[in-house]
Structure 1
Amino acid sequence: MNRRDFVGLTGLATGALLLPHFPGFGGSLVDPARLLEPGLDVAAKKRLADVALNAAKSAGATYADVRIGRYLNQSIFTREKQVQNIASGESFGAGVRVIANGSWGFGATNDVTDKGIVKATQLAVAMAKANAKTQKEPVQLAPQKGFGEVSWKTPIKQNAFEVPVAQKADLLLAANAKALENGANFVNSSLFQINEQKYFASTDGSYIDQDIHRIWPTFSVTAIDRASGKFKTRDALSSPMGLGYEYLTPQAADKVAGPAGTGLIGYRNSYDILEDAALAARQAKAKLSAKSVVAGKYDLVLDPNHLGLTIHESIGHPLELDRVLGYEANYAGTSFADLAWKAKNIPYGSKQVTIVADKLQPGSLGAVGYDDEGVKTKEWTLIDQGKLVNYEKIRDQAHIVGQKESDGCCYADSWGTVQFQRMPNVSLHPGAAKLSVDELISKVDKGIYIAGRGSYSIDQQRYNFQFGGQVFYAIEKGKITEMLDDVAYQANTQEFWNSCVAVCDQSDYRLFGSFFDGKGQPSQVSAVSHGSATSRFNAVNVINTARKIG
């Protein structure tokens, strides 16, 4: 098999693997026009929700909530001058969660009728009563007032599903063409779109209707040195966002210039895929002759599109309270930052590190009005000037840490899966003092600038890690000098965040995102954003990833 066939088959396989992990996927592939059809109206959903709540109480439940969900998704995959695959999916059903005899039970159905919902509810109550026989302590829910009938919508300007598929495919092919014109030998691109139409009701008295949109354009380009057979890639520097198709209509005001000498552009609420694809091709080609890094200690200057992943893995995950308590130990691991560690007041980071969690930030993947157990979303501080002060928690966890309310970060990726604690948006506060990227770099004597997400690894306690990137530039005596390659840095979470000495101001703040963050058994996915400005970390260990052994 030659490289072209290998890359083509790999791209197709990747696209096929991603499809089943869409939130709510499990229904059926449909005609794209189906995605624009209206679902049940609010009055019909309220009536069905009341059927579930009444059936739960009649069967002996002391608490119940029901989620009626319609989940829509579409993906488009292209390669060079061809469209490889287009898939549109729809999933519709209802999930009922109850507490009976102090224990949880859950049932779900795609038969969204009175009969189907009653049957699922009775199953949930029976499950709860069976679970209660072995449960040592009853579920303790943090109090939650009912909100009555309310609604929330992602404030999009253009529904991506209303844009013709041909127009979206043409944009991806145009990006491919830009990459090929600028030196790429191969390129594949894709566009993922999600719409969650979710209705929640509970015995607390809430009836919440939400319409949530997310979008992610991405690509990967490859440049080849045919004489040596060497090849290099550069992926898109886009971020998945909680926006509509307007994200793909670039606005000059949304662009942030990268460091002088790199040609990089940062993007906020809109993304220029053509511009990024052209630059990606030039950078992939330049990586073919880039100097291989000399391992050692360097000051690192990390772009938000790179730092977001490090935040996700070394702060977002270890501060999930269920992981801290050991609930995820069998699958995703535990956390070094457990309750005993927190009690010791060990610095998580330097004074420059203030980390906030939220489900509110406009344009973010995690932005919703209410979580999946009817809690109004908010912002709260996880790390305050380096000190760990809080975790991420939901209603049945709050009492464990002596708190009286949920943080509003409960989520299920479909009507057929039970909701549980998921990571909210977790972000690094920008610096208060005015500081540009070039000013930050000007104070670095020997360092490396890193942009883009690369390969990474982190241990089961989220402590020891290694991160790569997409592009790397040497910094010498305050200036970008040349492109580097084969760069990755190693540290442990505590050392790394304590080495943070400066963070650029709000004018450089941007979002990174994870569209398919996995957790739980059976596994579920969620989407979450991480904001930051470009930041500096001193004396971090850098390794050469191309170094041969023996």
Structure 2
Amino acid sequence: MRRRDFIQLSGLGMSALMGSSIPVLGNAVSVHHLLEPRADAALKKKLADVALNAAKSKGATYADVRIGRYLQQFIFTREMKVQNITNAESYGIGIRVIANGTWGFSATSDVRPEAIAKCAETAVAIAKANSKIQKEPVDLAPQKGVGDVSWQTPLKKNAFEVPVQEKIDLLMKVNDSAMKNGAGFVTSNLFFINEQKYFASTDGSYIDQDIHRIWPTFTVTAVDRQAGKFKTRDALSSPMGMGYEYLDGLASDKIPGPNGLISYRNSYDMVEDATVAARQAKEKLAAKSIQSGKYDLVLDPNHLGLTIHESVGHATELDRVLGYEANYAGTSFATLDKWKSKNFNYGSKLVNIVADKTQPLTLGTVAYDDEGVPGKEWDLIKDGILVNYQATRDQVKILGGTESNGCSYADNWDSIQFQRMPNVSLKPGTEKRSVSDMIKGVDKGIYIMGRGSYSIDQQRYNFQFGGQLFYEIKNGQIVGMLDDVAYQSNTQEFWNSCAQLCDKDDYRTFGSFFDGKGQPSQVSAVSHGCPTTRFNGVNVINTGRKI
């Protein structure tokens, strides 16, 4: 199980998720129920005011309200059979308050006015009880209310409006094409999520947002029965913040790579990718095993995005830096003393990494976060130097700031919001450079595509990453496929080995659709953009050698 690909709220493993029993956030509903219109914003405002007024009447100095309707549709297939289709809805209201300088939270699925008022009173009572052990009062960064506003993920085709049969037909074509081109086994899946979120606060904000996400994915397996071997290749898709138009597979959105390899940007041809994947899985059966040693690595965005996520995204979450988030996947080596020094070399001067809540079509993009803070972009690493972190309204004062970074998120109406990762992306190079241009400058290297297994320590420092596809580079040319490849490094050493970047024409995004954090666990979705990037002299090991 790849821990950061799927976080199981029910504790089920990957096999259960991909099979007939899957964890669902909400109640099972009919497919027609998913198409019911959104609740009227005026009605939601009245309900929100009930909560705000009740909280203030009981002594809250601040309150915010989230009325949420969360929809999910997951479709799972294997070979020429449908294994499971899940349609789910979760609906309710969460109320967060500050009373006596302390947070309190309560939630209910009963949205009658009297039940909402009672829920608000409970949140205040919890805050007052907690205040007896609170050492310092909560200090929120100021946030001006924005009044009545709305925002929706730009959609050309709402995935929930596409008939289920059409989606199944697509997956059957994916599986059939993979099997015809050499796959012994294939699973394919579609994930669709819609968050209908209404936020209101005593600051004067009433924000109605309609957020959509999509993730098509598959795994093909080729088998050599005589040798008793098998190899897999996963989809090279990326989860996106868009509608079903992502699956139109527009040729103009393909990114040609070296040796005829294909990557995808803002549209995706799932059948084509599965066809190529089956052939590549067969090719992997005969691929040469890597010789351990130092190599220059040329990393495709669909691979490097995961390395960014683990070694930069999580490492610059302020709650990890401060040790507030420790049990679930650890803290961070990027401590405040390094930031305060103003000269900590996180990477080479080519490394410019930004946090961003505004990039179109990405998973983390919204108009406002779950504290009503507008989305924005800011620097985390500038010219290789650690310059900032990810923070919420009650954290930013620790950094001497007066404005939240807009990093608050809760995965459901009954979950309390806390600091979650925005999109974290590596800026492209300014010089015109293609992947083929980059490879020409490599004498001894490996070109890596796709995410694979990985491991990183509890401080986001020492790590090991695999991938989906590995190609040997000799004297500026790709000479064949490799196998059993993983690279080892530590975060600072790795990013300081960054030597070359492709330009904006090669920039693409990687995504994590179910990223887990917190106790109780919550999941969020986040994208990581980057161009193909070269790292010099990285230690590569052979993962197939037996000890």
- Whichever residue aligns with residue 511 of structure 1, its letter is T
Shift of 1:265: 1.1
Counterpart of 1:48 in structure 2 is: 47
The SS at the match of 1:138 is coil
Counterpart of 1:82 in structure 2 is: 81
Counterpart of 1:385 in structure 2 is: 383
State whether residues 19 and 76 of structure 2, in contact with CA within 8 Å, keep that contact through their aligned partners in structure 1. no
Counterpart of 1:285 in structure 2 is: 282
The SS at the match of 2:32 is helix
Shift of 1:228: 1.1
- Whichever residue aligns with residue 498 of structure 2, its letter is C
The SS at the match of 2:455 is strand
Structure 1 residues 19 and 45: CA distance shift in structure 2, 3 A: farther
| 2:430 is the alignment partner of 1:432 | yes
| 2:270 is the alignment partner of 1:273 | yes
Shift of 1:12: 5.6
What is the TM-score normalised by the length of structure 1? 0.96
For residues 346 and 401 of structure 1, what CA distance do their matches in structure 2 show?
Answer: 16
Counterpart of 1:171 in structure 2 is: 170
Counterpart of 1:517 in structure 2 is: 515
| 2:310 is the alignment partner of 1:302 | no
For residues 450 and 189 of structure 2, what CA distance do their matches in structure 1 show?
Answer: 17
Counterpart of 2:5 in structure 1 is: none
Counterpart of 1:366 in structure 2 is: 364
State whether residues 411 and 421 of structure 1, in contact with CA within 8 Å, keep that contact through their aligned partners in structure 2. yes
The SS at the match of 1:310 is helix
For residues 10 and 290 of structure 1, what CA distance do their matches in structure 2 show?
Answer: 30
For residues 72 and 342 of structure 1, what CA distance do their matches in structure 2 show?
Answer: 40
| 2:325 is the alignment partner of 1:322 | no
Structure 1 residues 460 and 12: CA distance shift in structure 2, 3 A: closer
Give CA deviations for 1:476-512 in whole Å, capped at 9, x if unaligned. 0000000000000000000000000001000000000
Counterpart of 1:407 in structure 2 is: 405
Give CA deviations for 1:331-356 in whole Å, capped at 9, x if unaligned. 22111001012233220000110001
For residues 14 and 503 of structure 1, what CA distance do their matches in structure 2 show?
Answer: 37
Match of 1:338 among 331, 335, 339: 335
- Whichever residue aligns with residue 415 of structure 1, its letter is W
State whether residues 312 and 426 of structure 1, in contact with CA within 8 Å, keep that contact through their aligned partners in structure 2. yes
For residues 500 and 158 of structure 2, what CA distance do their matches in structure 1 show?
Answer: 39
State whether residues 12 and 84 of structure 1, in contact with CA within 8 Å, keep that contact through their aligned partners in structure 2. no
The SS at the match of 1:373 is coil
Following superposition of structure 1 onto structure 2, how do residues 449-468 of structure 1 map, counting pairs within 5 Å? Answer: 449-468=447-466
Counterpart of 1:542 in structure 2 is: 540
Structure 1 residues 18 and 480: CA distance shift in structure 2, 3 A: farther
- Whichever residue aligns with residue 307 of structure 1, its letter is L
For residues 455 and 256 of structure 1, what CA distance do their matches in structure 2 show?
Answer: 25
For residues 336 and 20 of structure 2, what CA distance do their matches in structure 1 show?
Answer: 37
Following superposition of structure 1 onto structure 2, how do residues 126-205 of structure 1 map, counting pairs within 5 Å? Answer: 126-205=125-204
Give CA deviations for 1:6-48 in whole Å, capped at 9, x if unaligned. xxx997623359943x6xx1x2101101000013211110000
Structure 1 gaps of 5+ residues are 1-8
Counterpart of 2:310 in structure 1 is: 313
- Whichever residue aligns with residue 461 of structure 1, its letter is Q
The SS at the match of 1:32 is coil
- Whichever residue aligns with residue 462 of structure 2, its letter is N
- Whichever residue aligns with residue 276 of structure 2, its letter is L
Counterpart of 1:4 in structure 2 is: none
The SS at the match of 2:279 is helix
Following superposition of structure 1 onto structure 2, how do residues 110-125 of structure 1 map, counting pairs within 5 Å? Answer: 110-125=109-124
For residues 123 and 340 of structure 2, what CA distance do their matches in structure 1 show?
Answer: 38
Counterpart of 2:497 in structure 1 is: 499
Shift of 1:115: 1.6
The SS at the match of 2:528 is strand
For residues 174 and 302 of structure 1, what CA distance do their matches in structure 2 show?
Answer: 30
Counterpart of 1:3 in structure 2 is: none
Give CA deviations for 1:73-117 in whole Å, capped at 9, x if unaligned. 000001111111001000000000000000000000000111221
The SS at the match of 1:322 is helix
State whether residues 193 and 214 of structure 1, in contact with CA within 8 Å, keep that contact through their aligned partners in structure 2. yes
Structure 1 residues 11 and 388: CA distance shift in structure 2, 3 A: closer
State whether residues 110 and 116 of structure 2, in contact with CA within 8 Å, keep that contact through their aligned partners in structure 1. yes
What is the TM-score normalised by the length of structure 2? 0.97
Give CA deviations for 1:270-322 in whole Å, capped at 9, x if unaligned. 00001100010000000000000000000000000000000000000010001
* Aligned length in residues: 535
Give CA deviations for 1:172-193 in whole Å, capped at 9, x if unaligned. 1100111011110100000000
Counterpart of 1:70 in structure 2 is: 69
For residues 267 and 487 of structure 2, what CA distance do their matches in structure 1 show?
Answer: 30
The SS at the match of 1:209 is strand
| 2:18 is the alignment partner of 1:15 | yes
Shift of 1:330: 2.4
- Whichever residue aligns with residue 69 of structure 1, its letter is G
- Whichever residue aligns with residue 74 of structure 2, its letter is S
Q: Alpha carbon RMSD of aligned pairs, Å?
A: 1.2
State whether residues 349 and 498 of structure 1, in contact with CA within 8 Å, keep that contact through their aligned partners in structure 2. yes
State whether residues 193 and 212 of structure 2, in contact with CA within 8 Å, keep that contact through their aligned partners in structure 1. yes
For residues 147 and 10 of structure 1, what CA distance do their matches in structure 2 show?
Answer: 43
| 2:261 is the alignment partner of 1:264 | yes
For residues 330 and 91 of structure 1, what CA distance do their matches in structure 2 show?
Answer: 28
State whether residues 411 and 522 of structure 2, in contact with CA within 8 Å, keep that contact through their aligned partners in structure 1. yes
- Whichever residue aligns with residue 425 of structure 1, its letter is N
Give CA deviations for 1:368-395 in whole Å, capped at 9, x if unaligned. 0000010011000100010010000010
| 2:225 is the alignment partner of 1:243 | no
Shift of 1:475: 0.1
Counterpart of 1:6 in structure 2 is: none
- Whichever residue aligns with residue 68 of structure 2, its letter is G
Counterpart of 2:209 in structure 1 is: 210
The SS at the match of 2:519 is coil
Structure 2 gaps of 5+ residues are 1-11
State whether residues 11 and 188 of structure 1, in contact with CA within 8 Å, keep that contact through their aligned partners in structure 2. no
For residues 253 and 352 of structure 2, what CA distance do their matches in structure 1 show?
Answer: 25
For residues 346 and 442 of structure 1, what CA distance do their matches in structure 2 show?
Answer: 32
- Whichever residue aligns with residue 326 of structure 1, its letter is G
State whether residues 300 and 538 of structure 1, in contact with CA within 8 Å, keep that contact through their aligned partners in structure 2. yes
The SS at the match of 1:128 is helix
Shift of 1:409: 1.2
For residues 169 and 75 of structure 1, what CA distance do their matches in structure 2 show?
Answer: 11
The SS at the match of 1:450 is strand
For residues 153 and 164 of structure 1, what CA distance do their matches in structure 2 show?
Answer: 22
Shift of 1:144: 0.2
The SS at the match of 1:356 is strand
For residues 221 and 330 of structure 1, what CA distance do their matches in structure 2 show?
Answer: 35
